[in-house]
Chains A and B, each alone.
Chain A
Amino acid sequence: MNTKATMIQNSEYTISDISPELMRGPQWLRDLRNKAREDFNQAPLPRRGLHLWRYTDPGKFMYELNDASDTTYGDNYDVVEKIERHHVDEGTLAGLVTDLGGREIKRYGTEALAEKGVIIMPLSEAIEKQHDLVEKYLYQAISSQTGKFEAMNGALWNDGIFVYVPNGQVIEQPLHLLREAGMENSATFPRLLVVVGKNAGLTLVDEYGGGSMDEDKGISFVNGAVEIFGLAESKVRYVSLQRQTSATNSYLTHRAQIEQGASMLTIPLVFGGSLCKQNFGVRLNGAGAHSDIYGLLFGSMRQHFDNHTLHHHAHGSTSSNIDFKVVLKDRAQSAYTGLIRIENGARNCEAYQENRNLLLNPGTKAQTIPELEILNEDVSCSHGATLGSIDQESLFYLQARGIAKNEAVRMIVSGFVTTTLNRVPVDLRERIETFVAQRLEGI
């Protein structure tokens, strides 16, 4: 990819033209890219203070792009790739796809899946080989009208990953996607399109790593888009793991649409990045559709997080559940906005939402806005949010039994996050537990 970013923040920035390298593929795609470019240029920068931008400066996601040298990748990437390839060999993973900033996409161990009719390939390849499928779904859940930054991705994504599971096919082991951001002074635009057929099943681990480690040398910028379609009676489990490095500004939009009788489990695991704004949304499109979102965020140092979840009940007899947990230490900050919207025509829906925030020391900041928009009476809906320090009584109880204070704190935090960790696919759980343990060190 030749289009690279110089790290000049410029709120007036417009995309003048899209490099010929990106302007490939069929006419409809080129048209959509162009439309995304126009929509990006026309959309004003979101006003600060307005909904979803109250706590984060949108200017931080605006980068002027020009031609620059190739993106480079950190050493740590090789280690992670090795571990995951080992999991593939062991059989705990159904397959591994590595995505180096959309420049290089490789598959490992996906041959067995291909025999079952599962299609895993770079989006650029899918546009040729699975043209009709891609045309039917690409940009359908996240269009250039979704928002300014969604339009930015829509115009500038280089390559992405396409996953298709045919009707009736259930993939037992997780499929792992490893997506590496470039190092300092880079911009990457990951894109993912997933279609899970009728009565089919898929577990997907979408891991975002890499990035710049040194702010002085320049930060790394990531703007990702994930579209997932769960057809009737399908079962999708999606884990999003954010573990980018300390000088990375990341913006990710995730939109899923699930049809009649389908279920979707979304697990946002949020640990990385210096500034990380993510938006997870599921639209329930058919009777009996059910969505769960179990999020876990652990922030430290001066990390700034801004997460949004949306459960959009567009059809009656659907149900949803959200449990988003936040642990903050040092001077980390987290904003969480969760909207449940139930349309007028969507009768007989159930929706629940919980957001709990644990603040481990002074200097941390948390904001939570759990929202409800209910447009008919046949609903059962509730949300709850709590914010606070560790319960002093529990701490006292443990200390009274001879447990040192810092150990007691670790135990309480472990207990706090356990219910979420138990939902993480086994192959990943150990690594997540390590992330949590690392952050608990030094308490």
Chain B
Amino acid sequence: MAGSLERQNKDLSSLNQDYAVKYGFHDPVDYFHKGAKGINHEVVEMISRMKKEPKWMTEKRHEALDIFYSKPTPTWGDTKILSEIDYDNIYYFMKPIEQQQNSWDDVPEYIKKTFDRLGIPEAEKSFLGGVSAQYESEVVYHSMREDLKKLGIIFLDMDSGLREHEELVHQYFGTVIPSTDNKYAALNTAVWSGGSFIYVPPGVEVKVPLQAYFRINAENMGQFERTLIIADKESRVHYIEGCTAPVYSTDSLHSAVVEVRAEESSYIRYTTIQNWSRNIYNLVTKRASVYKNATVEWVDGNLGSRLTMKYPCIQLLGEGARGEILSVAFAGVDQHQDAGAKVIHAAPRTSSRITSKSVSKDNGRASYRGLVKIHKNAEGSKVSVECDALLIGSDARSDTYPTMEIDSEKVRVEHEARVSKVAEEQLFYLTSRGLSEDEARLLIVNGFMEPFTKELPLEYAVELNRLIELEMEGSIG
């Protein structure tokens, strides 16, 4: 380990530099379609027309735009950074190529190079059942293993999903997260493009993860992917998403909506590794409806972005439903990770667990914002919430804002939170065994993050550990 650290120290002096090398590049691109900046009903009309969408979707978009206009910017969270967003200086729709490809060879060279550098084809070969790669507004590459197709599993980008399975999309689109939910969900509904559409038929188990990779390339690009996952009765699926963007001097907006529906006795795990560059506003609404005896797990890692406001939500709507949210946040220089979790218990004997881990370093700020709501009819429900925050550096900030609303008496709700710095005893113990203070600190932070990393597929865990290693470099003092 000592050797690897020395090597890294030689190679890289800070994470930002590494981010620029690894993910921060951008391609000079001739876009197939690049609209004008700014948002209005014409832009919405244009997006819908280019996608040749059915009328109901066009109407939904226009309706959502009016809701977006009518809703005020949130008065909570990081209002200072939110107020900096200039909606008129954002491209709402960019189409990089005319047609989506499902063979890697047919993907244009510059995009292929991008995803090659990000390691996507490598990952696909080694452990994924299907891959979707979104570049700006549209999915440019999509493939799924033949054997999975034969099982009746649908894994498409959202646009193709709407074209090929209009009935399903019409039935479920906006039912978990209506446009009226919040300002950013309304914006997404108005200008959504790309994202994943997944349907798993009854009793089918998707044994290998399905993955989507989101990439913003252009400056001032807004990415608004829309994802809908439906797991039918007794099915199982694991979906992974990752995201990166180039480092520009002006800021971009990413505002996704993810709707998840777990029918009776099904199981969905949704893993996110958010590693946007530090000039992205990441405002995401994620919610799952969980029915009788079904389980949904959000595994949510937030490392990048300038501001993230994201609170994956689980609504337990059927008896015996179960939810788990495992969330980690790493807030470095000038970053604010305002992440959290929400669980709504609306059926008897439902259970949920929230585990939140955050590291604030330098002047970074990590906030946990959570809601636990137990409705009157949810007797016999159990909730446990655990928040752990680690502070590194004298200007680091950590906040905890959990809300618990309990309307039923026969329940058990437990909440615990801790905030501390790296313990002197632990450092002393490790340094007295020959580790440098840097190495000792890294080891402690890795240990702190372990409940999260061990839930990731091996390749991601390795990647995450390396990211943390880079973040922790030169953190002594």
Contacts and interface: CB of A to CB of B under 8 A. Distances in A.
A and B form one complex: yes
A376 B364 CA distance: 11
Contact of A377 (B393, B412, B414): B393
Given A376-B394, A382-B416, A388 B399 contact: no
Interface stretch (B152-160, B187-195, B285-293, B418-426): B418-426
A436 interface: no
Interface string A369-400: 11111111111111111111100000000000
B400 A365 contact: no
Contacts of A369: 401-404
> Contact size class for B?
35 or more
A386 B392 contact: no
A310 interface: no
Nearest to B386: A384
A220 interface: no
B139 interface: no
- State the majority secondary structure of interface residues on B: strand
B416 A374 contact: no
A363 interface: yes
Nearest to A364: B409
B334 to A, nearest CB: 15
Contact of B406 (A359, A360, A370, A381): A359
A372 B391 contact: no
Contact of B421 (A364, A370, A378, A384): A378
Interface in A337-370: 344, 347, 357, 359-370
Contacts of B416: 382-385
Nearest to A333: B407
A378 B396 CA distance: 10
Contacts of B413: 385-388
Contact of A381 (B75, B407, B414, B418): B418
A370 B417 contact: yes
A50 interface: yes
B410 A367 contact: no
Contacts of A382: 416-419
Interface residues of A, number: 37
Contacts of A374: 389, 391, 397-399, 419
B395 interface: yes
Contacts of A373: 397, 399
B444 interface: no
B408 interface: yes
A282 to B, nearest CB: 19
Contacts of B421: 377-379
Contacts of B401: 369, 371
Contact of A362 (B400, B403, B409, B418): B409
A302 B134 CA distance: 55
A371 B407 CA distance: 21
Contacts of B397: 344, 373-376
A388 B403 contact: no
A50 B399 contact: no
A370 B409 contact: no
A360 to B, nearest CB: 7
Nearest to B396: A377
Interface string A414-441: 0000000000000000000000000000
Interface in B415-452: 415-421
Interface of B: 75-76, 376, 379, 389, 391-421
23 contacts: A51-B76, A344-B394, A344-B395, A362-B408, A365-B405, A366-B404, A366-B406, A367-B404, A370-B402, A371-B400, A374-B398, A377-B391, A377-B421, A378-B421, A379-B419, A383-B400, A383-B416, A383-B417, A385-B415, A387-B411, A387-B413, A388-B412, A389-B410
Given A374-B397, A379-B419, A388-B412, 5 more contacts: A367-B406, A382-B417, A382-B419, A383-B415, A389-B410
